[in-house]
Structure 1
Amino acid sequence: MSAVLTPTHFTAEDYLSLERSATCKSEFHDGQIYAMTGASREHNLITINIAGELRSQLKRRPCEAYVSDMRVKAAEARSYHYPDIVVVCGTPQFEDAHVDTLLNPTLLIEVLSPSTEAYDRGGKFAHYRKIPTLNEYLLVAQDQPSIERYLRQGGAWVLTEAVGLDADVPLESIDCVLSLREIYDKVLSGA
């Protein structure tokens, strides 16, 4: 996340109106709009590799995957975010007829960047945890084959880690498995 665009306090309606006509993406939290930064080559490769794996595994199943441009609303946190990858199983629910703001994600994935890592782990995850339909959250490293997986179990979030190119990450919420070798293809030497 970047700096606040202005010191003005915005409503969610103001934000959506501005965002839908903007040439660059911004996120929103509690009245403030934050400009988003661009992604690195590694970030983009990892994102497309994950999306490709999910697309293949979710074929002919009642789940949809979105990459980067599907906004997610965390209503209780009064925030809107653009996760790197979103998966929703069942009927997608949207905020309005624009069909650009998902309300019921099942799985969210963030590829960590030096400028966003602390926020992805902290404030953003705190916002995401308030989404009742969210069951799984992944944090994917760019510089090494490592994924942290948080799975909702009752009122708790349980962390498991997958490290190394020979590791796999089971995604219980959507009944898929991600291979780190596939995720880091063309990103790390040896992948």
Structure 2
Amino acid sequence: MSAQPQPYITPEEYLAAERAAHRDIAGKHEYFQGEVYAMGGASRQHNLLATNLIVGLDTRIGDACNVYPSDMRVHVASNDLYTYPNVVVVCGDEEFLPDAYLDTLLNPVVLVEVSSRSTAQYDQEGKFLLYRNISSLRHYLLVDSQRVRILCITRLEADTWNFREYTQLTDQVVLSALEVEIPVSEIYRKVPLPAANGAL
């Protein structure tokens, strides 16, 4: 989130403004407990990683689940967060806010954030504390855009989570809730990173 919040507004005002902004091709914003935060633009690495994940997930999960890019807004009702994860996976019946738009999802199974230097701490600490209140959530992936590093946080029980880090291109990211594995090399395909990470 940006460090420059706007004055308090209601969720209804926020949603109306976001929907109007999308029609006008304006930027996206997060909403948290009455404050609105502008979301920054994405780097080339960020876009490549998100694209690789969307393709990799969609080719593996079959027709029972859907994969959405960052325009699918997610709402966490328990803490009043509205945000746009970089990749969203939902399985079974999709639940949306009770309005006609079908643009704000309530029951994701997998959420992915591609992290940069400026967002890494918030994505790993702040956002996880907010996302873990989603009862349907089974996996939260944090993908580093500066080096080969993927942190997969998996729900084992209601309030028990397992943290597993992948740092080698030969690793396979295990998403047990989807019954899929994705090679780290596929996620980082074509992504330019420092030479210390090895050739991609």
Query: TM class by shorter-chain length?
Result: over 0.9
The alignment of Structure 1 onto Structure 2 pairs a total of residues equal to: 189
Distance 2:13 2:121 in 1: 27
Say whether 1:79 aligns with 2:78: no
Equivalent-residue separation in structure 1 for 2:183 and 2:16 (angstroms)? 39
Answering whether residue 45 of structure 2 is matched by residue 42 of structure 1, we say yes
Q: After TM superposition, list the pairs within 5 Å mapping 1:1-191 onto structure 2.
A: 1-6=1-6, 8-22=7-21, 23-59=26-62, 61-95=63-97, 96-154=99-157, 155-188=159-192, 190-191=199-200
Q: Secondary structure at the match of 2:68?
A: strand
Q: Is the 8 A contact 2:116 2:146 kept in 1?
A: no
Structure-2 separation of matches of 1:166 and 1:129: 29
TM-score by length of 1: 0.95
Q: State the identity %.
A: 43
**Counterpart code for 1:107:** V
The runs of 4+ residues in structure 1 deviating greater than 6 Å are none
User: In the TM superposition, what whole-angstrom CA distance separates every residue of 1:142-166 from its partner, at most 9, and x where no partner exists?
Assistant: 1222111101111211101111111
Letter of the 1:17 partner, please give it.
Answer: A
Residue identity opposite 2:58 in structure 1: R
For 2:199, the aligned partner's letter is: G
Q: Contact 2:85 / 2:111 at 8 angstroms: preserved in 1? A: yes
> C-alpha deviations, 1:160-186, integer Å up to 9, x for none?
111111111010111111111111111
Gaps of 5+ in 2: 193-197
* Cα-to-partner distance string for 1:66-115 (whole Å, 9 max, x where unaligned): 01110000110111010000000101111121010000000001011122
The Cα shift of 1:3 comes to 2.9
Measured in 1, the distance between the counterparts of 2:165 and 2:125 equals 17
Superposition deviation, residue 4 in structure 1: 3.1
Cα RMSD between the aligned structures? 1.1
Counterpart CA distance in 2 for 1:69 and 1:124 is 18
- Report the 3-state secondary structure (helix = DSSP H, G, I; strand = E; otherwise coil) of the residue aligned with 2:177: coil
Contiguous gaps of at least 5 residues in structure 1: none
Mean Cα displacement is larger for which, 114-123 or 26-35? 114-123
TM-score normalised according to structure 2 size: 0.91
Secondary structure at the counterpart of residue 104 of structure 1:
coil
User: How many angstroms apart in 2 are the aligned matches of 1:125 and 1:44?
Assistant: 21
1 CA distance for matches of 2:43 and 2:126?
Answer: 22
